Amino acid sequence: MQVIEWREGTLLFLDQTRLPLEEVVIETDDEHVVADAIKRLALRGAPLIGIAAAYGFVLALNKVSDPSKIPAAIERASVLLASTRPTAVNLFRALDRMKAAAEASLARPLHEFKIQILNEALALHREDESMCMAIGEYGAQLLPNAAVVVTHCNAGRLATGGKGTALAVIARAWELHKLKHVYMDETRPLMQGARLTAWELQRLGIPATLMTDSTAAFLMQRGLVNAVVVGADRITRNGDTANKVGTYGLAVLAKHHGIPLIVAAPTSTLDFELVNGSEIPIEQRSGREVTHIGGIRIAPEGVDVYSPAFDVTPGELISAIVTEKGVLRYPFRDAIERLRPERLPAV
Ligand code: MRU
């Protein structure tokens, strides 16, 4: 089973909340199930959220039997799926793309319209897969020989339509015999590092060690790390990058210790509207995710909790942003501007 798969009118996906203990596949033809899965992180990771939203959009439109109801259904599906999570821009870019494809096909007979939008979702999924390959290739070149890398959260197969972003870099470096070891932050509070990255790296046979989030500083102080590689949820026009909370702390640490921080992300994670990171909407998660572990309360009843899901790393702390179109270096503004879709030559 893949992480997400379209099969004859239904969507199948792994419920990531159950990993690594159980591999549960959810099969649905209901866009509400997809929206709920995104909200509760059964489907997660910026590129995968975009792909899931595209398929959710198709499921919603598949239910329409009267063509005059299509415009209202497009609107309903967009609002439902856009309201799931606010930070990863891939979600909104995927929905904009699906909406544009749907609107361009409005004049077609209903069955053709449905084929058209499904093809758009499948194309978006396939494109993400090849973007991951290219990111892996470019990113692996940046790592030193015998690289010892720290990664945060999960930016692997479970977060994308392909091999991942940060983990594609790591996996490619391993294939090229350039990688010695990976240290994974557990990634409190939802443990994407401990649950998901550890699971993926084990399956890839890549030597990796799990540590608490607060251990990275000591590891760097001892000179045991020579690169940090992470993914991204939204990158603004100046290179400021939202990623899983804790990334900014790692970036400050990396700077202090003279270690490069590499952000690996497809161009679908670039937000050409926002000037800098202060404008990125940051998702706040439920306090229960912090006060409870595995359903068991660990903090006193009534305690106040602050739980942003993401933080923002200023572009000046980032050594390189690796996209499928190549490697961007600080200052990022001009390089990002050149990647604006309307400025790229048509293919
Ligand atoms: O809350 P999550 O698990 O969706 O957060 C995921 C991350 O922060 C990833 O690093 C990011 O989406 C990049 S995934 C290729």
Architecture of the domain spanning 4-133: Up-down Bundle (1.20)
Answer yes or no: is the C-beta of 233 below 6 A from any ligand 1 atom: yes
**Apex CA 183: angle with CA 177 and CA 185, to 5°?**
145
**Distance in angstroms (rounded) separating the CA atoms of residues 107 and 103:** 9
Reduced to 3 states (helix: H, G, I; strand: E, B; else coil), residue 310 is strand
| Category of 219 on φ-ψ map: left (φ > 0), alpha (ψ -120 to 50) or beta | alpha
Check residue 208 and give its pLDDT. Answer: 98
Q: What residues act catalytically?
A: 233
Q: Residue 182 contacts by C-beta under 8 Å, 6 or more apart in sequence? A: 148, 149, 150, 151, 170, 201, 206, 207, 208, 209
Return the structure tokens found at 316: 């000046």
CA of 91 to the centre of ligand 1 (A): 12
pLDDT for the residue 1: 59
221 alpha carbon to ligand 1 midpoint, in Å? 27
CB 208 within 8 A of CB 184: yes
Pick from 347, 303, 304: nearest CA to 325: 347
- Superfamily for the 137-337 domain: Translation initiation factor eif-2b; domain 2 (3.40.50.10470)
Query: Using CA atoms, how far apart are residues 309 and 306, in angstroms rounded to an integer?
Result: 10
Residue to mutate (ligand 1; options 89, 186, 192; most atoms within 8 A of CB):
192
Q: Give the chain's count of helices (H) and strands (E).
A: 11, 15
Residue ranges of the chain with per-residue pLDDT less than 70:
1, 344-347
| pLDDT value at residue 314 | 98
Three-state DSSP class for residue 149: strand
In 154-244, DSSP assigns E strands to 179-185, 208-211, 227-230, 234-235, 241-244
Distance CA(90)–CA(247), nearest Å, equals: 19
The answer to whether residues 85 and 38 touch, using CB atoms and an 8 Å cutoff, is yes
263 lines ligand 1 (CB under 6 A): no
Task: Please name the residue whose Cα sits nearest to atom 6 of ligand 1.
Answer: 45
- All structural domains of the chain with their residue ranges: 4-133, 137-337
* Predicted local confidence at residue 347, as pLDDT: 54
Between the CA of 67 and the centroid of ligand 1 the distance, in Å, is 37
Burial 305-324 (b: 16+ CB within 10 A, else e): eebebbbbbbbebbbbbbbb
pLDDT in tens, 263-310: 999 999 999 999 999 999 999 999 999 999 989 999 999 999 999 999
309 within ligand 1 shell (Cβ under 6 A): yes
Predicted TM-score (pTM) above 0.85: yes
Q: What is the pLDDT of residue 342?
A: 81
Strands 179-185 and 147-151: parallel
- Per the DSSP assignment, residues forming a β-bridge with 310 are 244
